[in-house]
A and B are shown apart, each in its own frame.
Chain A
């Protein structure tokens, strides 16, 4: 519900388990980009440097500029939906690196692209969502 609210989404299927439309679906489902919130459960998630940790903080990616965080941008995101994620599910994710490539950008200097593929399976092992994320590291802040 919090995730749907952050997207200004008031559809009952995403937030109200008692609504007839929700019951018709067999329970609450999730908005299309919901799996992004799995960051909360990623132990070494690098984009939350203030998170309390029992171990050492994650290493910066060593990409220079803005303290390591300043030059990384999200370039593309692609999802394939195989099976709905319902409220109460406990999805697990496996992540693997994809392709890497380099290109000369017009606005941000040399651009280094890298792909990450994530597969989200529910507690029964059913593949629910495949996500392909493309990140880019820029040499400098992107010109506006």
Chain B
């Protein structure tokens, strides 16, 4: 695969996230923080409008966009900030844009700006990845 600065890739990584998706991620990751599945605690004790998705679920879904695009072992680095919470019913679209490409001893190394947005266009995850492609 050849990449050049300005190349982009975009994918809807989850459509109307369900509480069941969030629970499944809790089980797979081991993160059983009740804020992510127990509405009584999320609303009553913590003061949130409902449960919300693990940041790492949003990052994992964003990672799926990257591995679908670049391959399962291409990533050298992947880092994000969690910029907004993801609520049940949200639809997330992950986008990557190549911002730099360098040649390291015959290997093509690309830097990719990563943003995942919800259905309102608000970013929920922002970060950067470095991939050998």
Contacts and interface: CB of A to CB of B under 8 A. Distances in A.
A7 B63 contact: yes
A29 B72 contact: yes
A47 B41 contact: no
Contacts, number: 141
Contacts of B21: 6, 8
A141 interface: yes
Contacts of A13: 72-73
Interface in B15-63: 21, 24-25, 27-35, 41, 45-49, 54-57, 59-61, 63
A45 B66 CA distance: 29
Contacts of A67: 41, 45
A7 B60 contact: yes
Interface in A1-40: 2-3, 5-9, 11, 13-14, 25, 29, 31-33, 36-40
Interface of A: 2-3, 5-9, 11, 13-14, 25, 29, 31-33, 36-40, 42, 45, 47-51, 65-67, 69-81, 84, 132, 140-142, 144
Nearest to A67: B45
Given A39-B30, A77-B79, 8 more contacts: A50-B32, A73-B55, A76-B79, A76-B82, A77-B59, A79-B79, A80-B76, A132-B79
